[in-house]
């Protein structure tokens, strides 16, 4: 697996993260062949006037097409601010709507090594419940991120929360070098 492509930036209010993975050529080739095989079966069903085959393999094609779009053109988009984490999946031809998960207290970010691609980590976001202070999971990233990008993301999020704390308690602004 190639190194993932990440775009991370902040406007001081939110941190924006977009991650895309370049899958190996052999996997993409297998998906193309599977899509072509299913299309051939659908074409035979149409020619031989067998609606059951057309319907069954048509549904299978829709599922495989979504999976193929995700593996060819998929992007994961996150917007993180001090009150919520929003995420969206971009399939290339269509996008899902942003799903917003509210933070009940501070944000927790944990990293786990991605074994099939050295130098990459999977990020997981969580928060604490206000009632009993137990942690809960908000979102797990689907695509891995380079370790350097994950560290940069941590830095931007820490700065975002420190700036928010400064504004909330009227503290002088803290600059992280």
Instruction: Please compute, for residue 94, the number of CA atoms within 13 A of its CA located in the half-sphere on the CB side.
Output: 6
Greater confidence, 120 or 117? 120
Instruction: Please compute, for residue 80, the number of CA atoms within 13 A of its CA located in the half-sphere on the CB side.
Output: 28
Nearest to 6 by CA among 109, 147, 155: 147
Average confidence (pLDDT) over 25-43: 95
Instruction: Report the alpha-carbon distance of residue 25 to residue 10 in Å, rounded.
Output: 33
Instruction: Report the alpha-carbon distance of residue 96 to residue 46 in Å, rounded.
Output: 32
The pTM of the full predicted model, rounded to 2 decimals, is 0.82
pLDDT of residue 46: 96
Average confidence (pLDDT) over 76-98: 94
Average confidence (pLDDT) over 64-81: 93
Average confidence (pLDDT) over 56-73: 94
């Amino acid at each position: 697996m190639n190194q993932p492509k990440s775009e991370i930036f902040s406007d001081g209010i939110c941190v924006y993260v977009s991650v895309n993975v370049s899958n190996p050529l052999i996997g993409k080739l297998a998906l193309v062949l599977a899509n072509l095989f299913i299309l051939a079966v659908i074409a035979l069903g149409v020619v031989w006037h067998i609606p059951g085959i057309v319907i069954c393999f048509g549904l299978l094609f829709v599922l495989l097409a979504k999976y193929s779009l995700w593996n060819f053109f998929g992007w994961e988009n996150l917007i993180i601010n001090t009150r919520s984490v929003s995420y969206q999946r971009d399939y290339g031809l269509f996008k899902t709507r942003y799903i917003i998960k509210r933070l009940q207290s501070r944000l927790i970010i944990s990293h786990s090594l991605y074994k099939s691609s050295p130098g990459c980590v999977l990020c997981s976001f969580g928060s604490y419940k206000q009632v009993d202070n137990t942690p809960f999971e908000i979102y797990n990233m689907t695509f891995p991120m380079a370790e350097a990008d994950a560290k940069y993301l941590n830095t931007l999020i820490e700065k975002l929360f420190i700036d928010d704390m400064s504004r909330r308690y009227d503290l002088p602004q803290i600059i992280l070098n």
